[in-house]
Structure 1
Amino acid sequence: MQELSKRILNGDRRAAARAISYIEDDHPLKQTILQELFPSTGKAFVMGITGSPGAGKSSLVDVLVAYLRGLGLTVGIIAVDPTSPFTGGALLGDRIRMQRHATDPGVFIRSMGTRGSLGGLARASKEAIRVLDAFGLDVIIVETVGVGQSELDIMHIADTTAVVLNPGGGDTVQAFKAGIMEIADLFIINKADLSGTNKLMREVEQMLDLAKHDAAWRPTIVQTISLQEKGFEELWEAFLRHRKYLEESGEGERRRSKHLREEVLEIVDFRIHQQMMNKIKQGAFGDLLEQVGQRVKDPYEAADVILKDYASSK
């Protein structure tokens, strides 16, 4: 076993941080480390926090972490940030807002850029969560960028997904259009001291009556006020109720198994794409792509040629 893997399993914080950096940089040792850590994963409770920009997700996570630490639980935070299309850098605003946890050995905070991925969750985020799981954290919170449809990606990684809404923000209609209503396991009405909270509660209840969801679990609605640190005991209890449901119904095991099967296909898709892009960068298919650009060939015909070339090279 790699020395780095051993250190992670022994709770070495620097080793975990380095492994995540390896993941982000696609280091040659990344796969070996993840393979070695995999048998020690699947223990942490992974909680997804998503919602529209301005809903107060980061402030809510900050207070939730403090509450969980008060219970003696160790917490990991993966903050998936928007990535600049020019520099590829992630904005670290979430880490700035969580400064009070920066020196707490029981909290591990990591910001990760989406790096142009089609969804709000970077592919590397799943692997980073696996590292923190093997590292031994009790709870891992994934806070996403909140950009609508792409947030559906969170359902492929979290055990429990919470959608944060605001009174008077028009969030319910937007969430319903994005399909988030169907993947939320619970709803958090943050800034519940603002007017319109009761109206928002009714709107969410009405939409839940229309939306498709697991017949055995109707999403809970919890009110919080982050600035006053109110409602967080009820929020944690709601998370625990859903976790209990997952365990007792077998839905949790089914979800995790489904996520892992999907991940295999994602890895295959990524590697095929990577191999084809490398060939194109080396000059392959240049004439073919030029013919498509000139409308001599259609994209489907060209794709068939590339796939046949890939199959014949195996």
Structure 2
Amino acid sequence: MEELAKRLLNGDKRACARLISKLENNEPEAIQIIKELHKYTGKAHVIGITGPPGGGKSTLTDKLVKELRKKDKKLGVIAVDPTSPFTGGSILGDRIRMSDLSTDPGVFIRSMGTRGHLGGISKATQGAIKLLDIYGADYIFIETVGVGQSEIDIVKTTDTVVMVMVPGLGDDIQAIKAGVMEIADVFAVNKSDLDGASKTALEIEMMLDFNDNKEWRPPVIQVSSLKREGIDKLLNSIIEHKNEMEQRGELRARRERNAKLEVLNLVEEKLMNMVMDVTDKEYTLKQIAKDIVEKKLDPYTARDTIIEKITK
């Protein structure tokens, strides 16, 4: 463990990959190393890339990473893919689209399946961000599964959220769902070489006119990943957003808010494990459910009984 921690601090890619695997498998070594090296976190700019399916998020991330590599920056990319509810498998197609980056020594790419976790990101994502931060990444990109209405966990995890939109999604109102659209710090209208890109950008601008946040109006950048147009402009907007937040003290406030939510999630997860442990051994959920249906027990008494057993 000591050796792994030392290698991670020295920027060893294999050590980082091994620890993320351990984290995904809930092995205690990875958590112990994060505990010991947590003081080395907080240096990386964490960027979320999200948006509806088919928006070209992976290709856009690929181009942004290459642009930053020209500036000799060290990068981490976590691409989250949906996991099959039937087989537990994941296609991990994002990694295929960024395959030429995998040989770059300054880029660490990791695909993660959601493993049934809702919210658009994997349960192990926050821990992986910390490991990549300790590893020495200057920028960490988190590419989420395609968002719909509730997959907005990315805003609780990152410093800057880039919402990738494309023209011709079919239903303009569907694309501009309130909760999803409100999480964006920067809008990227991708595939801007297609018809309707200017109309999509205008619709987003019109929606932003109703935005109550006067301190930062999310810029709407038209980009084409295929033609490599607007990538530098988009990158400048992302960096400008972070600088603006730092000046206003908002970056620290955002990270504090995210840390609070992370702690609550970890406590909730731990408590749920304790509940499952108790109900597996002493007070089975199957029996509880049977008693509730047969009116021998009510759900609230069942809850109180389980909590009482945990606290003992």
TM-score category (smaller protein): over 0.9
- 1:284 is displaced (CA, Å) by 2.1
- 1:1-314 to structure 2, matched below 5 A, reads 2-170=2-170, 172-177=172-177, 179-212=179-212, 214-286=213-285, 287-311=287-311, 313=312
Choose 102-111 or 195-204, whichever is displaced more.
195-204
How far the C-alpha of 1:283 sits from its partner, in A, is: 4.6
C-alpha RMSD over aligned residues: 1.6
Structure 1: gaps (5+ residues): none
Equivalent residues of 1:289, 1:302 under 8 A apart: no
Report the identity percentage: 48
| 8 Å CA contact retained: 2:278, 2:309 | no
Deviation by residue 1:160-204 (Cα, 9 ceiling, x = unmatched) = 001000112146523432512211101000000111112112210
State the 1:138 CA deviation. 0.8
Taking a change above 3 Å as real, the CA distance of residues 290 and 210 of structure 1, as seen in their structure-2 partners, is same
Residue 216 to residue 168, structure 1, CA distance change in 2 (3 Å): same
Give the Cα separation in 1 of the matches to 2:93 and 2:117. Answer: 20
Aligned to 1:149, the other structure's residue is in SS state: coil
Instruction: Kindly provide the amino acid, as one letter, of the partner of residue 243 in structure 1.
Output: K
- The amino acid that maps onto 1:16 is C
Unaligned runs of 5+ in 2: none
* 1:36 positional shift: 1.5
> Aligned partner of 2:229: which letter?
K
- Secondary structure of the residue aligned to 1:79 is strand
CA gap 1:199/1:295 in 2 versus in 1, 3 angstroms: farther
Q: Which moved more, 1:58-67 or 1:284-293?
A: 284-293
Q: Give me the whole-angstrom Cα distance separating, in 1, the residues matched to 2:309 and 2:231.
A: 56
Q: In proportion to residue count, which structure has more helix?
A: 1
Contact 2:51 2:146 survives alignment (8 Å): yes
Aligned letter for 1:197? A
State the alpha-carbon separation in 2 of the partners of residues 141 and 62 from structure 1: 10
Q: Using the alignment, how far apart are the partners of 1:171 and 1:141 within structure 2?
A: 28
Distance of 2:207 and 2:200 partners within structure 1? 11
TM-score normalised per structure 2: 0.95
Shift of 1:99: 1.0
The answer as to whether partners of 2:37 and 2:134 remain within 8 angstroms in 1 is yes
